[in-house]
Amino acid sequence: MGIILVWLATIALSLFLSATKPVDAVLVLGGSARREIYAAELAKQFPQVPILISRGSADPCIWLIFERVQAPIDRVWLEHCAKSTFGNFYFGVPILRRWQVHKVRLVTSGSQATRAILLAQILLGAHGILVEPDVVQEIGIPGNRESFLKTSLDITRSLGWAVVSQFYSPSVNVLPLKSVDIQVWRKQKFACEHQSNVR
């Protein structure tokens, strides 16, 4: 019991100290080109802050979004392993820890915001990473709806993973956006979400 209290106190102190620091990374949850467009604008405003896009659009689509607004891509990374909102954090936490992040801007949107923010506060908070939510306005009707049951299950497994992840983290690689060879991709067939407005 004493070890748990010390751990919780250490996390609380770390989060308190992080509150006064600037954001030192951006985590973009995949599932919407609108979030990637927003991330490209953030890259223009804060070119020194690394951006991790977790399971976003196809690589060339993201590259084209950044190219269209002339946003720098040197500090943008793509993570392809996640298949869910929980997965975004499962694979994102080890990367953010490797980057020694203390405060992250979480880019999400209305259709998943409540669950995403709760999971982020649990899973990132367990590692002393403060979450600053940034909810992007979506256009049209979202393709998915969040249910109470899904949210409850994800919160439950997040609480368990918050403890387990102190001792174990999955192996995950990231792809630098600057390594995307758009000429090679143009020879292949790929489709981008219509809201991205790129071809």
What are the pLDDT digits (tens) for 25-81?
999 998 889 999 999 999 999 999 999 999 999 999 999 999 999 999 999 999 999
- How high is the mean pLDDT of the chain? 90
Q: Do 97 and 22 touch, CB atoms closer than 8 A?
A: no
Q: Lowest-confidence range among 39-43, 137-141, 166-170, 175-179? A: 137-141
193 phi, psi to nearest 5 deg? -55, 135
Q: What is the pLDDT of residue 149?
A: 85
Alpha-carbon span 19 to 176, nearest angstrom: 29
Instruction: Check if the beta carbon of residue 67 is closer than 8 Å to that of residue 96.
Output: no
pLDDT score for 9: 76
DSSP string, 132-155: EEEEEPP-S--S----HHHHHHHH
For the 18-196 domain, the top CATH level (class) is: alpha beta
The predicted model scores a pTM of 0.91
